[in-house]
Chains A and B, each alone.
Chain A
Amino acid sequence: MFNQPDLAPCPACGVPVQVEIFPALFRPTARGRGGEALMAERESSCFYHPQKKAVVPCQGCGRFLCALCDCELHGEHFCPACLEVGRQKGRITRLENKRMLYDGVALSLAILPLLIFYFTIITAPMALYIAIRYWNAPRSIVHRTRIRLVLAILLATLQIVGWGIGIYFLTAAFKSHG
């Protein structure tokens, strides 16, 4: 049933399935390491556990860490505090699991209200503000261009210019009649 090129019926329910398994399935779950106790005075101790032997410095803050405090992430070593700060501030991209797409928000604000044009008097400045304010904010992890921001700025500017011209002519018409 495993690693077969074709579908085979599931022994439990009979539904055709294809199951591809890999060596990681049989790998035993790694147990967490505890720090080693300090044996000699000349040995460096962990910043967080002074009785434990330091094994590696943190690559974020440089503090010495014992095996217990060492958080390894793709060959880099961090202390728990740096890891948490890095995750929160988005400095460690590989830990980032959510992003706000300001370019999408700005473009939607510039396009969707066109259906009911009167809303654009509020939404166009909002779209322009968001596009400029978040010009340098991280965009999607997979799309890297600023085309949505550029389009949002163009459309919002056109709408604002349109409103400006409209208001100017409206005022002029009122003045000429009054």
Chain B
Amino acid sequence: MAEPQYHRLTWGQRRRSGVIAFCCIRSSLWLASDHLLGLDSTGYSESYKRFYFRDIQAVTIRLSRRRLIWNWVLGVPTAICLVGWGYDLLVSRNMSLGGIITGVTVTLLFALPLLLNNLRGPTCVCHLRTAVQTEELPSLGRLAKARRILDRLRPLIAQAQGQLAPEEIPSRVQAWTAAATAARAAGEDRYVVDDPNLPPRMVS
């Protein structure tokens, strides 16, 4: 079977799962003709997860506070540097060339990432759900990018599955929820999903 051609959708972003993985694993998304490939790379090995368009049930985007946290982490040192600059310029007025270069470098070290963090827009956490798993997509960490990728995937998924008319969504969701509740009450679910990344646990 020939290997499918992949086109890059996102560049690698760190997968936040454990201390070592935090440093090493980079996750990216690739597009093939009939599926989305989630690729986790350590540089020495790669692991793949394929999400076929016909199997994707839902994509969720949830706003996160990561941008706010980084704004504080980078903003406080930037503010301290700027206050130092202001004090030197207004009060002491005896800055040497070496002092100016060092000051500018240190200020830019915090100010540039701060600027970039805000230019890239709000942060989010994106999940993709299929019948057998719910997978986080770490490379979709910014709202603008997540929406751009979702806009690109939507027609491909619609081509594979068809489309839901907006007016039928509430009734279908209601019926689906009711059916799931009824099945649970009737004891049809003989398994429990403790962890979406592990096989279900049989309960009867």
Partner-B contacts on A (CB < 8 A): 2-3, 7, 10, 15-27, 29, 74, 76, 91-94, 96-101, 104-105, 108, 140-142
Interface residue from B43, B61, B131, B164 paired with A23 (Cβ < 8 Å): B164
CB–CB A3/B30 < 8 A: no
Interface residue from B41, B47, B164 paired with A3 (Cβ < 8 Å): B164
CB–CB B164/A98 < 8 A: no
| B172 at the A interface (CB under 8 A) | yes
3 A-B pairs with the lowest CB-CB distances in the bound complex, closest first? A25-B57, A18-B61, A16-B63
Q: A89: shortest Cβ distance to chain B, in Å?
A: 12
**A23-B150 Cα distance, complex, nearest whole Å:** 16
The total of interchain contacts (Cβ-Cβ below 8 angstroms) comes to 107
Q: B199: shortest Cβ distance to chain A, in Å?
A: 15
CB–CB B43/A101 < 8 A: yes
- 17 examples of A-B residue contacts, CB within 8 angstroms: A2-B169, A15-B63, A19-B59, A19-B61, A21-B169, A22-B57, A22-B164, A23-B162, A24-B55, A25-B129, A94-B1, A96-B48, A98-B46, A101-B45, A101-B46, A105-B44, A141-B37
Given the known inter-chain contacts A24-B56, A24-B131, A26-B176, please indicate yes or no for A98 contacting B61, CB distance below 8 A.
no
Q: A169: shortest Cβ distance to chain B, in Å?
A: 36
CB-based nearest B residue for A91: B1
**A124-B116 Cα distance, complex, nearest whole Å:** 40
Partner-A contacts on B (CB < 8 A): 1-4, 6, 8, 30, 34, 37, 39, 41, 43-50, 54-63, 129-131, 147, 150, 154, 157-158, 161-164, 166, 169-170, 172-173, 176
CB–CB A23/B44 < 8 A: no
Task: Provide the residues of chain A in CB contact with B63, threshold 8 Å.
Answer: 7, 15-17
